[in-house]
Structure 1
Amino acid sequence: MNRAPEYVSYARMDELHELQRPRSDARGELNFILLSHVKELLFRAVTDDLDTARHALAGDDVADACLALSRAARTQRVLVACWESMNGMSADEFVAFRHVLNDASGVQSFAYRTLEFVMGNRPPRQVEAAYREGHPLVRAELARPSVYDEALRYLARRGFAVPADCVTRPPEEQHEPDPRIEEVWLEIYRHPDRYRDAHRLAECLIEVAYQFSHWRATHLLVVERMLGGKSGTGGSDGAAWLRTVNEHRFFPELWTFRTRL
């Protein structure tokens, strides 16, 4: 038996290319599955970098945290490009195989949910669902502070006026916008030369948040182009639901303090 080339055996490429199994003969379905797989893997890559940043912040290593955050933002740009690739499919091409998806929906992705939890979006309804029937990776994430929680803890250790209740809150509870945290970021941006590390951290965090919002906005546009006003798969409200989600911002005080700067 011929041995597979090292590139194939190391990354198990032969198995990877066996995973795409369309349920129809429609031309666009294979591309849809391939891009769905790519997005899932990229979710994991971003999560891994955010986890690295989180551990670095816990050790007061801002340089390594910012390196990991910057790497995550680069990968997020590739995620946005995935929507651009899928956008090349016409509405009639998508309709030709949409029925075979049954109730499958991207909102069921445990990799995506884990990423949202790592970034700090932990609404009670999603937390309850994760504890009840979520994937082990999603449930495990709820036991850890988010990357934003760790950023606030780092600032508190550096002497900034971060309220105690913002750093002692149980990790499964979502961080809510707090004007006291807004004051902390405002102080940092008013004196960037004095607080160089904190300012750099803030810029890296806001880029990650920006790229996530960019991904959501592009998702909305692609869905509107594909489905118009139809309901989404898996019983979601399609574009209407995505418009609501688009209003959410990660690391909220990093957005709101700017009005006062």
Structure 2
Amino acid sequence: MTKPYDPAEDGAQMSFDGRMSYGDYLSLDMLLNAQKTWTNTHDEMLFIIQHQTSELWMRLAIHELTAARQHLLGGKAHQAFKMLARVARIFEQLNSAWDVLRTMTPSDYTAFRDELGQSSGFQSHQYRQIEFMLGNRNKAMLRPHSHRPDTLALLEAELAQPSLYDVALKALAQKFPLPDAVLNRDVSEAYVPHEAVQAAWTEVYRDTETHWELYELAEKLVDFEDYFRRWRFNHVTTVERVIGFKRGTGGTGGVSYLKRMLEVELFPELWHLRTEL
């Protein structure tokens, strides 16, 4: 009989008493005990893990977006490009996760929905932070976080600094003059599209060889927003498939609210210029 393979014979570490193990490094005891279910229904575990893993991916997205913004401010565009490409792939992962959640039927969800109380993904402060970082800034969206002073301070601090798109426009302004209303606006307010910005980006696309770095920056932003839009669309269709047009647990209109969010453009001029080319 063939002797069972022993990895130790090839040098594998097999004893971890007092040493760093895989579980120690990843804090797996804490992570894998964070799935507290409120009912004995089978699909509640799926629902919890879906949202917890989404929050972990969003945490990484914030990490990458923060660094990308800093690199752009420091004139290190190529380092920022790698991070923006990674964020697009993160949202590709988030899009794929909806396929798993869609295996939950309306009957499965109804069995534990009441236990959610008023909790809703609408209240995700990390999602709100990502939107604020990208330039979709609506101060009304601070209110769901007013019960947590630490979270509220985090979001207010984000509103006090330029968004990723504001930083991209500063890079654009180094090659094309942009009006004061764009460059010195109140960054805590939502960005309003400007014809001068669209004209500048259009010139970048008309002469990509001369403005290659700006062109690459623009395409990285569009690539990310493409995945971000798909994530929103998949969110809408998943919710409609599971609860129809019922009001959301957090009090929003559910599908009607999510469909309204589909209309939001993060980098508007980068989409509108395509009609002019």
TM-score by length of 2: 0.89
Could you tell me whether the CA contact under 8 Å between 2:125 and 2:145 is conserved in 1? no
The one-letter code sitting in structure 2 at the alignment partner of 1:142 is L
Deviation string, structure 1 residues 50-85 (Cα, Å, up to 9, x no partner): 111101110111111111100110111001111111
2:70 to 38, 47, 55: 55
Counterpart mapping for 1:64-75 below 5 A: 64-75=79-90
Q: Distance in 2 between matches of 1:153 and 1:131?
A: 32
Q: Indicate the residue corresponding to 2:243 in structure 1.
A: 227
Q: Give the 3 Å change call, closer, same or farther, for CA 92–128 of structure 1 in structure 2.
A: closer
Aligned-pair CA distance for 1:145: 0.8
- The question of 1:147 aligning with 2:164 is answered yes
Q: Size of the alignment, in residue pairs?
A: 260
Q: Which of the pair has more CA radius of gyration?
A: 2
CA distance in 2, matches of 1:20, 1:233: 20
2:41 to 26, 30, 41: 26
Matched, 1:114 2:129: yes
Q: Conserved in 1, the CA contact under 8 Å of 2:119 and 2:250?
A: yes
Tell me if the contact between 1:223 and 1:239 (Cα under 8 Å) persists in the aligned partners.
Answer: yes
8 A contact 1:160–1:184 mirrored in 2: yes
Alpha-carbon distance in structure 2 between the residues aligned to 1:130 and 1:166: 29
1:162 to partner: Cα distance: 2.0
Q: Distance in 2 between matches of 1:246 and 1:203?
A: 20
What are the equivalent positions in structure 2 for 1:73-92 lying under 5 Å apart? 73-92=88-107
Residues 1:256 and 2:244 are matched in the alignment: no
Relative to its length, the structure with more helix (as a share) is: 1
Distance apart, 1:161 and its partner CA: 2.2
**Offset, 1:124:** 3.5
Partner of 2:263: 247
Task: Tell me how far 1:44 sits from its aligned partner.
Answer: 1.2
Question: Shift of the alpha carbon at 1:131?
Answer: 7.3
Unaligned runs of 5+ in 2: 1-15
Query: What displacement does 1:159 show?
Result: 2.3
Cα 1:206–1:232 change in 2 (3 A) is: same
CA contact (8 A) 1:26 1:96 kept: yes
Residues 179 and 128 of structure 1, relative CA distance in 2, 3 Å threshold: farther
Distance 1:199 1:208, change over 3 A: same
1:126 is displaced (CA, Å) by 2.3
Assess if the C-alpha contact under 8 Å between 2:123 and 2:145 holds in 1.
no
Residues 1:44 and 2:49 are matched in the alignment: no
Who is 2:111 aligned against? 96
Aligned AA (2:171): Y
Whole-Å separation in 1 of the counterparts to 2:19 and 2:247: 46
| Cα distance in 1 for residues equivalent to 2:29 and 2:146 | 35
Flag the 1:112–1:132 CA change in 2: closer, same or farther, 3 A: same
Moved over 3 A (4+): 1-5, 127-134
1:216 paired residue among 232, 237, 242: 232
> What amino acid does structure 1 have at the position aligned with 2:51?
S
Q: What SS does the corresponding residue of 1:26 show, helix, strand or coil?
A: coil
The structural deviation recorded for 1:164 is 2.2
Task: Quote the offset at 1:5 in angstroms.
Answer: 5.6
User: Aligned equivalents of 1:6 and 1:66: distance in 2?
Assistant: 34
- Output the CA distance in 2 between the equivalents of 1:230 and 1:131: 26
- Between the two proteins, what is the percent identity of the paired residues? 34
Task: Name the residue aligned to 1:191.
Answer: 207
Separation of aligned partners in 1, 2:123 and 2:160: 21
